[in-house]
Chain A
Amino acid sequence: MNATGLPPAGPGSRSIRAEPGNPIPLLTLQKAGFRYRDADAAALRDIDLVIRPGEGIAVLGPQGSGTSTLARLAAGLLSDRGEHSGTVNRNARAALLGDDPEAQLTGLSRSAAEEVSLPARLTGMLRDSLPGAVGQAMSALSIAHLAGRDVSTLSGGERQLTALAGLLVLAPPLVILDQPGLALDARARAHLLRALDAHRQAGGAVLLTGHQHDELSAACDHVLLLDRGRLTGTGNVTAQPALLSRYGVWDTRPAAGPVPGSAHSAPQDAPFRAGSSSCVHDTSRLPGVQAPGRDGGEEGTGQDLLLRVRGLRVRRGGRTVIDGVDLDLLAGTTTALLGANGSGKSTLLAALAGLLGPADRPADRPADRPGTSPEDIPASGRRRTGGLTRGRRRGKRPVDDVAGSIIDRAGTELGALPLHARARHLAWVGQDPGMQLSAASARAELEGAVPLARHRRTERTRLRARRHEQVDGIMERLDLQHDAATHPYDLSPARRKDLVIASALLLEPAALLLDEPTLGRDLAGMQRLNTLLNDFTGAGGTVLVATHDLHWASSIADRTVHLCPPEDTTPSHAP
């Protein structure tokens, strides 16, 4: 062991060396290093790496270890971003798919098929050959059904696969993927795995980087570990999960061991409760979960019912995304919302938070009155955006249409409240944290995130001092004190998400709605998240979390709810 507690970094453990008789490497890094402009320390140092045709190599490490920088260095995207050292030889074209689905699209296409065709068109493919090439690339990733969809309506995972299909049209010998499995469901990951296998069998190679070990990295020939910019170790990580923990890498595979920081064992199966045509499958570890009662509590559990959702229905862009979902959230519990890419998980959370309709709803309607039956609501409690009547009459773009009932513990119909008033009950943390941040520093973001309660001018100083204390406390809980002066955009995606969660906690809500909070988190980030959720539910709150991380969901959640697309009404078991 060295001073860092890591195994000694011997030559054999740091590189895959060229051997006589091996085919010409597609990529060779010799003592390669990189330092970003204006950075004090190098992001990468002394990297020796050789990738040959047919190989699959995964490089994993914690946040800040340099995995994304390595991916960009290998793809040749850092030429004017800083100072290089050592040598990087690319003997073939390399294509990189980054970790942010938003950043992978070009903005020059309307439909998914058009986006997939763009690289082929840009490189001179004739128009007549396009349909075949596009169809083949999309079929390889099983996304042919998305061909005609507007790219702006695609989910994060669907965007990621669309971008990858576009890159695969070019058939680059070396495919570099930075955290490719983040936004993908299990089925999409399996399709991606098959596509990458086929690519390798056809003579291509794959370099995969990330902070999480999943089915994709497990299928690679070699898994290398990166620590503070150096390749410091390797080994059979599948057989030695402890090695991953030691390097701060989160293992997402369902077969992995218990989750650090989680107090739960795996949830028990509960009888399937079909609440709707939206195919909600409910797996619960709660004792005796039955049909919800109307007395503010869940029959047979003795736990407070904090939120009751009935008949939630959402139409977006003329398409039914959610068709009649029923859901109960109990005090002190975490509910994991699972489902395939595009099944409507994010839409469900946004609809609950009130983000899919206008904020100015009429106040006096039956839905506002406590104890109103959900059956009374659809006609009056229906909300539409953008002036539906005009939109329909003039044939303009279809608008959102949300119907259903969302009732809190006191019997208030939250669906009737304007968005800003609903925030005190349901605090939403979206998938893209950048959208929820606007201040110049992390502390300023939290100080101004939530408006102060109505007050007299003379009370302002006292309220601000109290807010200051609250922010101090929350920053300490989330270990954000050291980043207080940092611009939110300079934080890593996981830390940005922490900041947004912190702003949600300032609302002191009864329920937290989290959309994919595990994206891009390393082991330390996962532990931080688990501790936070356990504290929140321990204090009597409830959490509804949309995630593709089944391992984490099975460990943290008291209940898992599986959401299927409305077209798919075939019952299936929750994973």
Chain B
Amino acid sequence: MLLVYGVASPLMPAAVLLLSAAAALCSPRVRLRSWLLGMLVLAGPMLLVVGVVQGLFYPGPAEVLWSWGPARLTAEGAAVAAQLWLRVAAMVSVCLVFALSADAGRVFDALIVLRLPLGLAYVCAAAVGMVPRLRQRLGDTLAARAARGHDTRRLGVRLRLLGGIAAGLLLSSLTDLDQRHDALVQRGFGTARRPAPWRRYPDGRLQRTLRWALPALSLAVVAASIGGWLPLPAASDLIPALAAGSEHP
């Protein structure tokens, strides 16, 4: 978040987006299809909205690249749309890689080791655990509908069933939360301020170095960007250049 919002250039969120895509591709625990689907669902609608609102109907005076009726693609509008979407998409992609690859138990242990309050550690771990659980439940629910004769391979059928399935998922998630709360109360949650981790996670020298170096590097990059020592192009510089490049190949 620090990098994608701290540096004005769209190259930074684009780089973060590419890096997280590479991580999704290479990670043995993340399925690329799940990551892409997550991106489509969470970042896709925003691309559509900013593309139409900012890209085609930018209100101020601007350099018009293309127009059709009331819609006009402007360099400034496209720059704003690209910047907005890239920032959100970069954050969503990193969160997705983390949520799809992390395991709730390990996140809980790690946050406790990092001395976060017990309640906050539980909320974060529960949120991470909810991703695979919802995915599993959605798959099971669709299979259950197919087991009653609905051809859930067809998009039209899925859309028709969407309301009921979404309501069922929401309700079962709320019930889950309630049940999990009771289960944790039964297990003495809150008795110890700092529960012992299940296992020791060996922290190598490189990992330890990266843990401190990466935030420091991020701060330095942001500071350099604000101070004007990092000459990265802004979106408003890139769009006209790209448009000109496409006109004169």
Contact = CB atoms under 8 A, between A and B. Distances in A.
Mostly helix, strand, loop or mixed at chain B's interface? Answer: helix
B143 A451 contact: no
A436 B183 contact: no
B135 to A, nearest CB: 11
Interface stretch (A191-199, A235-243, A423-431): A423-431
B218 to A, nearest CB: 30
A354 B147 contact: yes
A463 interface: no
A114 interface: yes
Q: Which of B103, B129, B145, B183 has the most CB of A within 10 A?
A: B183
Interface stretch (A20-28, A99-107, A329-337, A468-476): A99-107
A75 B105 CA distance: 26
A509 B148 CA distance: 10
B149 interface: yes
A96 interface: yes
A423 B145 CA distance: 10
Nearest to A96: B186
A489 B175 contact: yes
B167 interface: yes
Interface stretch (B67-75, B191-199, B229-237): B191-199
A438 B143 contact: no
Contacts, number: 158
A322 interface: no
A36 to B, nearest CB: 14
Interface string B99-138: 0000111101000000000000010011001000100110
B244 to A, nearest CB: 41
Given A119-B187, A122-B191, A435-B137, A114 B147 contact: no
Given A100-B179, A126-B196, A359-B146, A75 B186 contact: yes
B113 to A, nearest CB: 12
A130 B196 contact: yes
A360 B142 CA distance: 14
B167 A420 contact: no
A170 interface: yes
B152 A114 contact: no
Contacts of B144: 430, 435-436
B39 interface: no
A75 B137 CA distance: 30
Nearest to B107: A108
A391 B188 CA distance: 39
B168 A170 contact: no
Contact of B148 (A108, A114, A423): A423
Given A107-B104, A166-B187, A438 B153 contact: no
Contact of B187 (A167, A427, A504): A167
A553 B28 CA distance: 45
Given A107-B133, A123-B188, A117 B149 contact: no
B216 interface: no
Interface residues of B, number: 56
A418 B149 contact: no
Nearest to A419: B146
A125 interface: yes
Interface residues of A, number: 66
A89 B195 CA distance: 29
A124 interface: yes
B198 A420 contact: no
A302 interface: no
Contacts of A423: 146-149
Nearest to B197: A127
A118 B192 CA distance: 12
Contact of A396 (B28, B103, B104, B186): B28
B57 interface: no
Contacts of B151: 359, 418, 420, 451
A289 interface: no
A124 B195 contact: yes
Given A106-B184, A124-B195, A127-B196, A152 B136 contact: yes
Interface string A240-273: 0000000000000000000000000000000000
A435 B141 contact: yes
A124 B187 contact: no
Given A106-B183, A170-B187, 17 more contacts: A75-B186, A77-B185, A100-B179, A102-B179, A103-B179, A104-B183, A108-B126, A109-B104, A110-B103, A118-B187, A124-B192, A124-B195, A418-B153, A420-B149, A420-B152, A434-B175, A439-B164
25 contacts: A77-B186, A96-B186, A98-B179, A98-B182, A107-B104, A107-B180, A108-B125, A114-B105, A119-B188, A121-B197, A121-B198, A122-B192, A126-B196, A354-B146, A355-B143, A359-B151, A396-B29, A418-B146, A419-B143, A423-B146, A423-B147, A438-B168, A489-B171, A489-B175, A506-B148
